[in-house]
Structure 1
Amino acid sequence: MKALLISIIALLTLAPAALGQAKKNPHGDISWECFDCHNTESWNVIKPEIAFKHEKTGFPLIGQHAKVACLSCHKNLAFSHIASACVDCHTDIHRGQFGNDCQSCHSPQNWESKHDVFELHSSKGFPLVGLHSIADCNACHINQQKNEFAMTPVQCRGCHESNFKTATDPNHTLAGFSADCQSCHQPVAANWNNSTYQHPAAFALHGAHAKIDCASCHATQFAGLSNQCVSCHENDFNATTNPAHLTFGFPTTCETCHDDVSWNRAQFDHLQASNFELRGAHINIQCIACHIDNQIHDLPTNCYGCHQNAYMQATNPNHSQGNFPQDCLQCHNESAWQPATFDHANTQFPLTGAHSTIQCIACHSAGYQNTPTDC
């Protein structure tokens, strides 16, 4: 009897413990119902849509986290004590370069989004602007182990030294340019050729000089070049034939006649040089039309001196037969040889009516002397 009583007491004592073990959740101290995830078919069958709201844990499933299998993060059945930091699941392939805050560059939506890479570069002293903002990361982060980005130089020459050494227009090495690329180039520029280099004030580049290649003047050197026009344009000076600069003894101070916009846009002061101002048609003719054989001395300045052939060949009226004066300006002007303005009123027969429109030769068929004046 005593043994039976002891057995009953033992059963009553162990029963609650056995019941407690039956109710212990294999997933740890969580308050989920089994049917939130499982069904009666099998413990291994997980419902396609789990009723449990993961955001209750303080770690909402967004982006790629919403698509992965539970066991990708929960390696055992104890769900309640899993860590929630990125590095707890994701190996730091950058080997501690950027700390443990993966979200400073990445987001749950896409591991490759790198949504804060611009802010990261700015914080490291190299903001991504201009063409750097669209360049591939590997274009700058080269010769390093995969996914290691530290120790990349932030100075331009660290990446662009080859550009510096191979530049030919101008030759940076020959010119002794500074290795500080930003003294001429800007990261925000659309391309490498947009330079802000300013030519020394002693020879500012204006007009045609602003458009030519540097090598046109700086063929072999940069320092010690003369800023006198003739130092570059001596061949042009010597080869010019209209007018022949050498023959005429023109000064080699090219800027006396030329500007830096165009070599052909000369402004020679003919009046000062010869006491013969170029007006009217004389402005547009070639120098050699008057300076035949490049003659510059002892040239006549009166009209007849150059236009004698025109005077002798005139037939309507015949100048030589009519004994016209050789002062051409009495009838002609410097703008055009024709029409002439002979004033017939200065003769004894002013032209009126129909006489004012007929050709001279109609009345002066036999010449201009002793022409009758009566009808």
Structure 2
Amino acid sequence: MASSRLPLLALLAAALAAPAPAARADVFSPGPLSRAHEKLEGLQQCTKCHVVKGQLSAARCLECHQELAGRVKQGRGLHGRLPAADREACNRCHLEHQGRDFALVDWGGPKERFDHARTGYRLEGKHAAARCDGCHAPARIADPGVKQLLAREPGRRTFLGAPQACASCHFDEHRGQLSQDCQKCHGLQGWKPASLFAHDRTGYPLEGKHRPVACAKCHKVEREPARDPGALTRPASPEAFTRYRPVAHGGCQDCHKDPHQARFGQDCQRCHAPALAWTEVRATAKERAFHQKTRYPLQGAHETVACQACHGPFAGQPARFRGLAFQACRDCHLDAHVGQLTGGSRAGACERCHTVQGWQPARFDLEDHTTSRYALQGAHRTVACSLCHVHDPRLADRVPAEARARLAREKRPARVSPALFSLGPSQRCEQCHADPHAGQFPERMARESCAACHEQQSFLPARFDHQKDSRFPLTGKHGKAACASCHAPGAAGAVRYKPLETACAACHRDPHAGQLAVNGRDDCARCHDTRDWKQTSFQHAPPFTTFLLQGKHARAKCEACHAPVAVGGGAPVRRYRGLPRTCEGCHADFHQGAFRGFTP
């Protein structure tokens, strides 16, 4: 028995001493690696993860997983925040050698219940119910290093590199009006209401009656299609958004309609305050009562003017209460028309057009215009003032430097009316109106201007006689033709009146297709006149033709000889030229050639 075992033991020892084939070496592996690590399969590669004669090395893991090495070193993220003992034992959460399809990550339960606070980013409010793959999607990765990793290994799955800024995942409902720091106004419990927003921190704190005003009263909804950059959330309204910036708020008139129509100026807070109701006016009557006993009682808009505006003190000047000029408006006020109205019957008297109740509206009507150099007549009486007296911002440059300096000392604005009243000496139509004829009538315009054909009552109908005022009197059917049938818009858009050809062929198609042209020109008037096209003066005799109609020919119908022929691409045309003149050219030979060559 013993002798029989010796060869067997020797054989086994020899087998163990001999090098094992690679195919047999896997028998000693604890089990197959996961699919993510299958390229490390084989005993020859064990030391890439395991230290010789040691256990699994966390340092070896980080040599491959460089995306984690930096975070661990900086103490960031899930791995960087782990206790030191757990960081040295990767296999506590990532168990290997369990087969190709074994999950490498042990979440400690369902993935959806993972404690996200361990990463350093706690999921609160609406974030707590968010799906993992909604935020951890390859398209949302912001970290450059993680992006490079995925570029090298497209099949890699990672939860690293997700952004934390609101705008990285959420559509900007404000369309770029406000900053990207959403958490200044919004909390994680929900987008609405903006629980952290405070209007007092803006450039326009809400006071008094402004506080209960609904936001939508000032912040209007505007229409603009949303340009979605691929946000996780969709816009609340793809076609509309609320305007938050810029919103005009420099003066009360930016939001409120002035019920006084500017009669009391633009400074509403002289009488009104946000803390008071609109009908509650500041107590100014007592302050003004004394002035009513002076030589200049305050009336109209003057009642609300601050005392300092007239009496000072001003820069370098003490307050003055005696010896102030007040006989004329210009003693205090700048000439808002900067010298445009210094001449004429209304010169220098502001009160002829304005009252102390307010600068506008001006007291100047149609009858007042008759005293000017240009009395309004006809349709001009219905034209809005601003269409002739246009706004010219250059008028503000005419304010004298001395007047500007005085106003600056008194802290008063240099208000100038932008309306242009100095329209020049000319009263010709073209000074205000564009030439609708684009310069087709230079001689008439130079001689009589537009009034040669048009009246002030209305531009149409024009006072134009085609029989006398043109070189082409309208006769016959031409007298009934619509103007537009001959005078069509030209290349410049203006209706073309001259030069126009007067030959028939310029307007009418030649129904004879050039058969009757003389020297290359159609002379329609040889046979036709403007009364009726079909009634012609043509006769089958000289000078019209040398082929006289005699005998039976005189009773033949025209179309019997002049049959229609097809002309390329057009309607059939009757043939008049090139017709045969011999009998056999039109008639069949009843004698069947029996008299051919017969000479009577």
TM-score calculated relative to the size of structure 1: 0.43
Instruction: Give the TM-score taking structure 2 as reference length.
Output: 0.29
